[in-house]
């Protein structure tokens, strides 16, 4: 790994992204110790950019720094998860309500296209996760509040520490799709209160499946 191969992104940012993806893929399990020396050797870098990367991940909640013990992948408690889902439900339902009340037809068509991709991905869990996130983030983009979008982005990173658990449960993907259909129907009807309600129900059911 060299600076030239990583330009223009700073080295520590690239390292943070690689570790972030390893955490999301469960190559680094929640609660596991992060062996800085081993990873620095593996990536061919000094420990300085690695430590900067770990600070970034700690700020996102993905890594926990323990005094004199080093860095650990964060373990999400049931309370943590409930708190994250509660905030996501509030923020994303608010965004969905904004979209329902003012989105242009072309924007709604684009959301419909994403929903169709989600339907087609029902048999592929990883692809389903990716498209599902694209759908939710597109709703936030259309609502056009960068502060809300940043908060949701950070919260979703923490949610991903537990994300596979929810859809492993039998029937959850089908349930999630049904909830998305209800959200889309409310969006297309321009019914902001109903859209907000459907989005909050979606997160409530997601939390129930995740715990």
Q: What is the total residue count of the chain?
A: 211
In this prediction, residue 166 carries a pLDDT of 56
In this prediction, residue 1 carries a pLDDT of 47
In this prediction, residue 50 carries a pLDDT of 95
Rg (CA), the chain: 19
Region 3-73: CATH code:
1.10.10.10
pTM: 0.81
78-210, CATH topology level: 1.20.120
In this prediction, residue 10 carries a pLDDT of 87
In this prediction, residue 168 carries a pLDDT of 58
In this prediction, residue 9 carries a pLDDT of 64
- CATH 1.10.10.10 segments of the chain: 3-73
- Tens-level pLDDT at each residue, the chain (211 residues): 444 444 446 899 999 999 999 998 889 999 999 999 999 999 999 999 999 999 999 998 899 999 889 999 999 888 999 999 999 999 999 999 999 999 999 999 999 999 999 999 998 988 998 999 999 999 999 999 999 999 999 999 888 887 655 555 778 899 999 999 999 999 999 999 999 999 999 999 999 888 7
């Amino acid at each position: 790994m060299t600076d030239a191969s990583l330009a223009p992104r700073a080295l520590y940012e690239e390292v943070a992204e690689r570790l972030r993806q390893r955490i999301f893929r469960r190559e680094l399990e929640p609660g596991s110790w992060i062996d800085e020396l081993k990873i620095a050797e593996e990536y061919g870098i000094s420990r300085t950019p690695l430590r900067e990367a770990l600070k970034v991940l700690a700020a996102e909640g993905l890594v926990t720094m323990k005094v004199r013990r080093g860095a650990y992948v964060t373990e999400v408690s049931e309370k943590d998860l409930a708190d994250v889902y509660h905030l996501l439900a509030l923020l994303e339902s608010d965004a969905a309500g904004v979209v329902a009340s003012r989105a242009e037809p072309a924007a709604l068509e684009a959301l419909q296209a994403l929903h169709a991709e989600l339907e087609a991905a029902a048999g592929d869990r990883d692809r389903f996760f990716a498209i599902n996130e694209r759908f939710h983030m597109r709703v936030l983009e259309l609502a056009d509040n960068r502060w809300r979008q940043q908060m949701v982005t950070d919260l979703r990173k923490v949610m991903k520490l537990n994300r596979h658990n929810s859809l492993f449960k039998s029937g959850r993907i089908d349930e999630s799709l049904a909830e998305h259909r209800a959200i889309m129907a409310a969006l297309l009807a321009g019914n902001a209160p109903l859209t907000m309600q459907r989005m909050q129900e979606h997160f409530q059911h997601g939390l129930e499946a995740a715990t």
